[in-house]
Amino acid sequence: MTSSASRCDQSPAWSALQNHYQLTGKTFDLREAFAADAGRFAEWSFQAPEIFADLSKNRIDAATLELLLQLAADCGLEAQRDAMFKGEPINLTEGRAVLHTALRAPAGQGALFSDEVQASLASMLAFADSVPAQGFTDVVHIGIGGSDLGPAMVVIALQAYARPGLKLHFVSNVDGHDIAPVLQQLNPATTLFVIASKTFTTQETLANALAAKSWFLANGGTDIAKHFVATSSNTQAAGAFGITTTFGFWDWVGGRYSLWSVIGLPIAIAVGSENFRALLAGAHAMDRHFAEAPLAQNLPVLLALVDVWYRNFHGFTSRSVAPYHQGLRRLPAYLQQLEMESNGKGVDREGQALPYGTSPVVWGEAGTNGQHAYFQMLHQGTDVIPVEFIAVKTPTHGAHVKGELAERLADQHQKLLANCLAQSQALMQGKTFDEALAEKAPTASKSLDAATIARHRSFPGNRPSTTLVLETLNPGSLGALIALYEHRVFTTGALWGINSFDQWGVELGKALCNSLLPRLASGDSHGLDGSTAGLLKHLRA
């Protein structure tokens, strides 16, 4: 079914959208749209599980949405979505189902692989809850890519729910400068290592695991089986390492979608089984919204349609994510893999070259830090970059925050929210030359005339943004937020006619690395290109 679904550029709606862009989309002005429609905010605001979304500051109107929804219908989006939930092998190039949604489906609801999933979950959570009682104070999670980015992001985001007495550390980079300072902090007698590798062959993860094992034994550690566990499907390789406790999972769990599986063990250790189940429940609620809500009210679909409108018709190549919550500071890095590894493809499902753009560059930083780094470009740069703001209404500073400190932090949270609102407002409104000319600029050079200064201080405005609002950042809302992005990525991939669930682009570099590694020792540069040979020689000198 999936392979026969129409590609977006083969839909009649595609050419209609191209015409619509030329006629009205190219000159659409947000300021005029708000002036003409007092109800624009209400019309373009949507509620999904745990998340309120304001899409009103996007360059979109009812006619645009109608055409985008027709594009989704022409591409068989609902059928493609249903195929994923049914467990059809929509990962065509690897012949696999894509069932991360099954990992968060509650027991007793007839979900695919429910018995196996619930047994795996119960075993993993029981172990996670037992970790403090085993005398561990530090847990070092060793993994990379999907085995690291998701768990690390979630543990940081849910710091307010962390169990006392446990410190989580994440090691991913093969660079020894990653693991060395972590090991320096540890006591072998009270440290647990979690080795996360589906195949137990990942170069970076195995190198770090062997380094950790070497450190452990050299510093008086004696029980590998107690202090090292694995989340892997290769129990034989883990056993050869000395690991006897291994939590396995299935080939229908993709790496960047795996935090819901046993790969989420460090999350469960950090926040406990009850909060881990709440994380799953939040994601499941978003799954049901994606599966059941009409497309015109379906938040993952709406965000994806805006993405396609910007990427393929406006030609915007980038999107910035600005979470105004310090706990979400690793979310942009997580989303980079989720979106760019999933949808950074140049051929369709049949292997034919695509004549249009796919994944944008996704990047960002937590607010308000980003304001003092790259927002200058967002406001006055030559590229239009849609921005995604994420605001959290109620903070969770912790029970230790009391009295005057509580009052001060509550005031700081109001400042944080005000900054978030101000940035999206400024991007949309801008500042005209006349407005800048009428203002005083006390720091401006006295040697320049007022008109020159005003041109420097003008903002074009009409720069689009989306704002997502969470009531609070807790396991349920975080689960819903992550699932929202997963389904958004699925939707754009479905419309572009690509396979969002393979990652062949990472293979070539791995293979070349394996061939270059012995050359670094031997110095043999025969057959290499001139640049690589020259760099090899320089690094060995």
Catalytic residues, by residue number, are 341, 372, 510
Nearest to 327 by CA among 266, 280, 402, 390: 390
Query: Sheet harboring 228-231: ordered strands across?
Result: 167-171, 138-142, 191-196, 228-231, 246-247
Q: Quick one: DSSP state of residue 337? A: I
DSSP-based three-state secondary structure for 96: strand
- Are 204 and 172 within 8 A, CB to CB? yes
Task: Report the DSSP beta bridge partners of residue 139.
Answer: 168, 192
CA quadruple 500, 503, 504, 506: dihedral positive or negative? Answer: positive
**138-142/167-171 β-pairing:** parallel
394 forms beta bridges with 472
Question: Whose CA is closest to 254, among 98, 113, 85?
Answer: 98
The DSSP output letter for 377 is H
Give the DSSP H/E element, type plus range, for residue 341.
none
Closest CA to 143 of 188, 204, 185: 204
Which residue matches tokens 């720069």? Answer: 463
Whether the ω angle into residue 368 lies within 30 degrees of 0, i.e. cis, is: yes
Q: What 3-state class would DSSP assign to 76?
A: coil
> Do 377 and 318 meet the contact criterion of CB atoms below 8 Å apart?
no
Residue 169, SS3 per DSSP: strand
Rounded to whole angstroms, the Cα distance separating 82 from 105 reads 15
Q: Please state, in angstroms and rounded to a whole number, the distance separating the CA atoms of residues 377 and 381.
A: 4
- Going 455 to 457 to 462 to 463, the CA torsion angle's sign is positive
CA separation for the pair 535, 541 (Å, rounded): 10
The DSSP 8-state label assigned to residue 110 in this structure reads -
Q: For the chain, what is the radius of gyration of the CA atoms?
A: 25
| Residue 143 and residue 232 in contact, taking contact as beta carbons nearer than 8 Å | no
- Single-letter amino acid, residue 428: M
